[in-house]
Amino acid sequence: MLHRGLIISVVAAGLFVASCGQEELPPPPVEEGPNQDSIDAARRAAEEAARRAAEEEARRAAALEAAREALTAMVFFDFDMAEIRSDAEGVLQRKVDVLRASPAVQLRIEGHADERGSSEYNLALGSRRAEAVRQFFVNAGLAQSRFDVRSYGEEQPREMGSNEQSWAQNRRDEFVITAGGNQIQVPGGGQ
């Protein structure tokens, strides 16, 4: 508050100085009718404002899209493991930031496994992977009721290959926004 008041007074002082300086110049020629320059200037100002608004809108949309992408970004797991990998922590922390800023948003966490091992055991493994991420969110202070977990086991691979590259892509959690998708707030974007 104090800062803002100070800024306003400084700006006001500057304007005063500027206008004082202008008064020393010779008076502009008086013309009948509208001043073409000032019309152009107004139009330019309006265009500039519109451009700025559009830019601002685009920036906000991009930030919103980034927040949405942060929410749905996948995390990956090691073979037969449900522990959160260190490279997944950053991805999950960004989700936490968006979720904190967007209390209306609810997520479904879908656990998946690669094709190795038995179909039924991999259902359980996928469910552990989904649960591990829900625990991460709960530990970060988010309400458990905002998250629905389920497992598709090995039945819905992203990559069809039978090699480590494909398997690594298939050992994952996916995220679906189930509520509040139109009420996503960009974290730290309030001012």
Task: Report if residue 7 touches another protein, rule: CB under 8 A.
Answer: no
168 binds another protein (CB under 8 A): no
What's the min distance (Å) between Cβ of 91 and another protein? 21
- The residue count for binding another protein (CB under 8 A) is 21
Q: Output 35 or 119, the one with its CB closest to another protein.
A: 119
- Rounded to whole angstroms, how far apart are CA atoms 184 and 49? 26
Does 93 sit near another protein (CB under 8 A)? no
Structural element, H or E, at residue 178: strand 172-179
Q: Does 121 bind another protein (CB under 8 A)?
A: yes
Q: Which is nearer to another protein, 135 or 169 (CB)?
A: 135
* Residue 66 contacts another protein per CB under 8 A: no
Q: What are phi and psi of 80, to 5 degrees?
A: 60, 20
Two structure tokens written together for 30:
């008086």
Q: What does the chain come to in residues?
A: 191
Among 129, 125, 116, 126, CA closest to 85: 129
Q: Which of 63, 73, 96, 123 binds another protein (CB under 8 A)?
A: 123
Tell me, letter by letter, the H, E, C secondary structure of 65-122: HHHHHHHHCCEECCCCCCCCCHHHHHHHHHHHHHHHHCCCCEEEEEEECCCCCCHHHH
Which of 126, 187 has the CB closer to another protein?
126
Cβ proximity to another protein, 123 vs 168, nearer residue: 123
Residue 179 interacts with another protein (CB under 8 A): yes or no: no
Q: Name the minimum Å distance from CB 146 to another protein.
A: 14
Residues of span 134-163 touching another protein by CB under 8 A: 135, 149-152, 155-156
* Amino acid identity at 103: P
CB of 119 to another protein, least distance (A): 5
Q: Which amino acid is at 138?
A: V
